Amino acid sequence: MRKTTKTLIALSIGLSFATQAADQRYIIQVDEGHKGLVKALAKKVGGELNVDGSGFIAATFSGKDLSTVKGLLNNPHVKLVEEDQRRVPLSLYSDDIGDPSVTQLTPYAVYQSQADQLTLNPSAGTKVCVIDSGLDQSNPDFVWSSITGDSDSGTGNWYEHGGPHGTHVAGTIGAADNDFGVIGMAPGVDMHIIKVFNASGWGYSSDLAHAASLCSAAGANIISMSLGGGSPNTTEENAFKSFTSDGGLVIAAAGNSGNNVRTYPAGYTSVMMVGANDADNNIAVFSQFPACSTFSTGKGKKSKTEIIDGSCVEITAGGVSTLSTYPQGMAVNSNLEADGQSIASSAMENAGIVTAESYFMGTAEAIDASANGKVCLIDRGVISFHDKVKNCEASGGLGAVIVNNVDGMLYGTLGDANITEIPAVGAALADRGALHAATQMTVKIAASDYGFMSGTSMATPAVSGLAALLWSNHSGCTGTDIREALKASAFDAGESGRDDYFGYGIAKVADASAYLDNMGCNTTEPLEDIELSATTSFSKGKDRVSLTWSGASSSRVDVYRNGLIQTTTSNDGSHEDTLRNAYGIYTYSVCNAGTNHCSSNVSVNF
């Protein structure tokens, strides 16, 4: 499935560039000394001059293909005629551009993960439990009638923020589909909010274990946790294992240290670990990439190493510069318009709004009286951002737009010693032409209810919202079915197959829905009458796991370790599994032989 998806995307890119090459715009290389003659010839045969370059011109010949233009420009002073190929910014996905206070914007990850291609089924009753810092009631971009929560005497009311993190996370999951703000992955989905930390920014594993029980009591199908720590905890692990065994899905962040350390709760096998990618399908530099735990099967030449799927990154989603909801007024946003066209920008300093004629100040190294009463358009370079804006203001400029001199958006500040007062924003090099062509600009910097954050904390609610969206369209599935479908249909963005950075790839929810349409749900319900327990010991240089069970009805049973069958043995109520150099978490179940009538999972930790 992943190979098919990747091939289709490659084809769509190829078709796009094939179409763009047919713009009837051509580059004509000329003898510089005879350029005027060639320009006159081009105009005579219907060409519209676009660029007058050194040793070449570019012109559009409407309705004429390359061979025709070559024939029309058959002149000894013409060296070469070739198609003028389009070049586009190499961001595969981007946010909508505009002011979220007056229009709804779609974050890039919605497009990237295909959430815009599937519709939430509200009657399915899918509910996401968000364990974080609360969801602030001041932001209006939610269907508040569909949101509940649990307050805590230690952290406060769930509907009052303990920092903006939880509100940002909740918006990525379920911000409403309306005419302002942003849209979530599963817009308007039912949510239950558990506030486990506040502005100090931390809680305990026991808080999470308790929160899991509250999520269950609230009827949640999915738990979303954009949090983590360095060590496992049995109580915490059992809480999430129980939620998963009851048919739920638990999703948590891999971590933001950019190393191969495993964090928890994401590192438990009952929890789906999520990494982050950017808008160009690249892994985020901060996204942690722990190697999967492994175990050996067989002996001698038949021995082979298997990974413990679920102990490492399983999937990724957009988590770099993610636009989402904030508590009221806690974010700062910029808006830039050039002749009424919205242009992407970044806020630098100084709140305010101004609309005026634009004036190009070059690199703004000196005061220029011609900028008086205008918005200064400034190139990056030579002097500091602060000094550029100071010179603009000293010239009588009302606002400043500083354009990057390398690819990408210009992000920056005016420094701690800022003495300027006019609003100043950064802009991308790709938009320089549009800005220079404009006669009037509007620059706005203001407090906002919407802002950007980066982290696996942002990718995790994206996957949680996608899971809710998918589950609402396939309500007969279990959480494990949803988890497996997301992995099976992910876009293979890293090394071929599963890798430590992307896991199985970037989440694609429409493809996951098609996968379930074709494959169905492989639901396996544990039978309550098979009860399993496990204890560990160490003897003769080996770790041992003693399994005991009761309630199996067949003469023989299948013993599973980490989802793989290890042996089929007599139903005598006990089995010892011997491990060499055991490390990590091992999960066992016992089933009537050849059936899916199984015990609940039981885990041990070495």
Q: Cite the active site residues.
A: 132, 165, 457
Task: Give helix 456-473 / helix 509-519 axis angle, nearest 10°.
Answer: 40
Six-digit token string for 247: 């048919």
Give dist(CA 311, CA 585) in Å, integer.
8
The answer to whether residues 132 and 223 touch, using CB atoms and an 8 Å cutoff, is no
Please state the length of the chain: 606
Give dist(CA 305, CA 580) in Å, integer.
12
The answer to whether residues 260 and 291 touch, using CB atoms and an 8 Å cutoff, is yes
Six-digit token string for 593: 């032989």
Query: Three-state SS across 402-462?
Result: EECCCCCCCCCCCCCCCCCCCCEEEECHHHHHHHHHCCEEEEEEEEECEEEECCHHHHHHH
Using DSSP's 3-state secondary structure scheme, residue 603 falls into strand
Q: Which of 480, 566, 559 is closest to 516 using CA atoms?
A: 480
Six-digit token string for 424: 């100043």
The answer to whether residues 512 and 485 touch, using CB atoms and an 8 Å cutoff, is yes
Give dist(CA 578, CA 407) in Å, integer.
56
Q: Read out DSSP for 38-60?
A: HHHHHHHTT-EEEEEETTEEEEE
Six-digit token string for 592: 């009537």
Question: Which H helix or E strand runs over 240?
Answer: helix 234-245
Give dist(CA 278, CA 289) in Å, integer.
15
Angle at 357 between CA 352 and CA 359, to 5 degrees: 100
The answer to whether residues 160 and 137 touch, using CB atoms and an 8 Å cutoff, is yes
Residues linked to residue 352 through DSSP beta bridges, in sequence order: 445
Burial of 235 (0-12, 13-18, 19+ CB in 10 A): exposed
The answer to whether residues 312 and 272 touch, using CB atoms and an 8 Å cutoff, is no
Residues linked to residue 56 through DSSP beta bridges, in sequence order: 29, 53
Phi-psi region of 298 (alpha: psi -120 to 50; beta: other; left: phi over 0): left
Using DSSP's 3-state secondary structure scheme, residue 493 falls into coil
The answer to whether residues 357 and 373 touch, using CB atoms and an 8 Å cutoff, is yes
